[in-house]
Chain A
Amino acid sequence: MMKFSLVEFSIRRPKWVLLLTGLITLLFLTQFPKIRTDTNPKHMLPATSDVRVWNDEVDKTFGLYEDTIVVGVENDAGVLNRETLGRIARITDGILALPGVASRDVNGFTTITNVTAEAGTLKVGPLMPAAPKTHAEVEALRAALFGNPLFVNRVISKDGKTTAIYVPLEKGANGAEIADKIRAIVAQEKGPERYYIAGDPVARDTFGAEMFKLMAMFSPIAGMIMFAAIQYMFRNLALSAAMMGVSMVAIIWSMGLLIGVGFPVHIMSSMAPVFLMAIATDSIHIFNEFYFRYKEKGDKLAAIRETMAAVSRPVRFTALATAAGFAVLLFMNIVPVQVFGGLIAFGTVVLRLLSFSFIPAVLTFVREDRLVRAAGSESVEGDRTARALGRLGAFGAARPGMTVAVALALVAVSVWGTSKIHVNNNLVAWFKPSSEIRVADTAMNAALGGTSLGYLVVQSKEPEFMKQPEAERWIEGLQRHLEALPEVGKTFSVVDYVKRINRVLHDDDPKYDAVPQTKDMVGQYLFLFSMSAKPSDLDNVVDSAFGKANIWVQMKTWDADAMRQVIAAAERYEKANPLPLTVKPAGIAYFNLVWNDEVLGDLVRGFSLALVVVFAILALDFRSFKWALVAYAPLLFTILFIYGVVGFVGKDFDMPLSVMSTLSLGMAVDFAIHFVSRLRQRLAEVGGADLPGALAWTAARPGKGIMRNAVLFAAAFSVMMFAPLTPYVVVGAFIVSMMLLSALLTLLLIPALVMLGRRWLVA
Chain B
Amino acid sequence: MKTKFQRRLMREARYAVTKRWWIWIIAGLLPLQALALSGEEVMKKSQAAFLYPGKDFKARVVMKLINKDGQERVRELTMLRKNVGEAGGEQKYFMYFFQPADVKDMTFMTYKYPARDDDRWMFIPAINMVKRIAAQDKRSSFVGSDFTYEDVSGRDLEDDTHALEREEKIGGRDCYVVKSTPKGSDADFGYKLTWVDKANFLPLKEEQYDKKGARYKLFTADEVADVQGIPTVVKRSMKNLQTGHRTEVAYLKSGYNLGIEDSLFTERFLRQPPRKWID
Mark A residues whose CB is within 8 Å of B.
Answer: 60, 63, 96-99, 102-104, 118, 120-126, 129, 170, 464, 467, 505, 516, 518-525, 527-528, 530-535, 538, 544-545
Chain A residue nearest in CB terms to B142: A531
Q: Known contacts A104-B242, A170-B242: does B140 contact A534 (CB below 8 Å)?
A: yes
CB neighbours (8 Å) of A123 from chain B are 133-134, 136
By the criterion CB–CB under 8 Å, are B124 and A528 in contact?
yes
By the criterion CB–CB under 8 Å, are A533 and B140 in contact?
yes
Partner of A524, one of B71, B106, B134, B141: B106
Which residues from 107 to 159 on chain B have a C-beta closer than 8 Å to any C-beta of chain A?
A: 108, 122, 124-127, 129, 131-134, 136-137, 140-144
Q: Nearest-CB distance from A170 to chain B (Å)?
A: 7
Q: Nearest-CB distance from B58 to chain A (Å)?
A: 21
Chain A residue nearest in CB terms to B133: A122
Chain A CB within 8 A of B271 CB = no
Partner of B212, one of A63, A99, A521, A530: A99
CB neighbours (8 Å) of B72 from chain A are 544
Chain A residue nearest in CB terms to B72: A544
By the criterion CB–CB under 8 Å, are A125 and B69 in contact?
no
* A-B pairs with beta carbons under 8 A, tally: 110
CB neighbours (8 Å) of B55 from chain A are none
Please give 9 more A-B residue pairs, beta carbons under 8 A apart, in addition to A60-B69, A523-B102, A527-B143.
Answer: A96-B211, A97-B212, A103-B212, A122-B122, A518-B126, A519-B102, A523-B103, A524-B126, A544-B65
Which residues from 45 to 96 on chain B have a C-beta closer than 8 Å to any C-beta of chain A?
A: 65, 67-69, 71-73
By the criterion CB–CB under 8 Å, are B102 and A544 in contact?
no
By the criterion CB–CB under 8 Å, are B100 and A126 in contact?
no
By the criterion CB–CB under 8 Å, are A122 and B126 in contact?
no
By the criterion CB–CB under 8 Å, are B136 and A103 in contact?
no
Chain A CB within 8 A of B235 CB = no
By the criterion CB–CB under 8 Å, are B102 and A125 in contact?
no
Chain A residue nearest in CB terms to B104: A520
CB neighbours (8 Å) of A63 from chain B are 67, 243
By the criterion CB–CB under 8 Å, are A521 and B144 in contact?
no
Q: Nearest-CB distance from B104 to chain A (Å)?
A: 9
Mark B residues whose CB is within 8 Å of A.
Answer: 65, 67-69, 71-73, 97, 100, 102-103, 106, 108, 122, 124-127, 129, 131-134, 136-137, 140-144, 186, 188, 210-212, 214, 242-243, 245
Pairs across A and B, CB under 8 Å, 20 listed: A60-B69, A97-B211, A123-B133, A123-B134, A125-B136, A129-B137, A505-B129, A516-B126, A523-B103, A524-B102, A524-B106, A524-B126, A528-B131, A530-B144, A532-B137, A532-B140, A532-B141, A533-B140, A544-B67, A544-B72
Chain B residue nearest in CB terms to A536: B243
Q: Nearest-CB distance from A118 to chain B (Å)?
A: 7
CB neighbours (8 Å) of A533 from chain B are 140-141
CB neighbours (8 Å) of A120 from chain B are 131-132
Separation of A607 and B162 alpha carbons in the complex (Å): 72
Taking chain B's interface residues, is the majority helix, strand, or loop, or is none over half, making it mixed? loop
By the criterion CB–CB under 8 Å, are A544 and B71 in contact?
yes
CB neighbours (8 Å) of B102 from chain A are 464, 467, 519-520, 522-524, 527
Separation of A122 and B65 alpha carbons in the complex (Å): 25
Partner of A505, one of B127, B136, B211: B127
Separation of A527 and B145 alpha carbons in the complex (Å): 12
CB neighbours (8 Å) of A129 from chain B are 136-137, 186
By the criterion CB–CB under 8 Å, are B125 and A524 in contact?
yes
Q: Nearest-CB distance from B48 to chain A (Å)?
A: 27
By the criterion CB–CB under 8 Å, are B126 and A521 in contact?
yes
Partner of B133, one of A516, A522, A531, A534: A531
Partner of B122, one of A102, A516, A521, A528: A528
Q: Nearest-CB distance from A25 to chain B (Å)?
A: 46
Separation of A452 and B188 alpha carbons in the complex (Å): 31
By the criterion CB–CB under 8 Å, are A505 and B124 in contact?
yes
Separation of A532 and B135 alpha carbons in the complex (Å): 9
Q: Known contacts A120-B132, A532-B137, A544-B73: does B211 contact A527 (CB below 8 Å)?
A: no
Q: Nearest-CB distance from B145 to chain A (Å)?
A: 8
Separation of A124 and B138 alpha carbons in the complex (Å): 11
Give the 3 A-B CB pairs with smallest separation, nearest first: A523-B102, A123-B134, A520-B126
Q: Nearest-CB distance from A549 to chain B (Å)?
A: 16
By the criterion CB–CB under 8 Å, are A125 and B134 in contact?
yes
Separation of A118 and B133 alpha carbons in the complex (Å): 10
CB neighbours (8 Å) of B133 from chain A are 121-124, 528, 531-532
CB neighbours (8 Å) of A530 from chain B are 141, 143-144
By the criterion CB–CB under 8 Å, are A121 and B134 in contact?
yes
Q: Nearest-CB distance from B71 to chain A (Å)?
A: 5
Chain A residue nearest in CB terms to B185: A93
Separation of A103 and B243 alpha carbons in the complex (Å): 11
Separation of A147 and B140 alpha carbons in the complex (Å): 24
By the criterion CB–CB under 8 Å, are A524 and B69 in contact?
no
Q: Nearest-CB distance from B273 to chain A (Å)?
A: 16
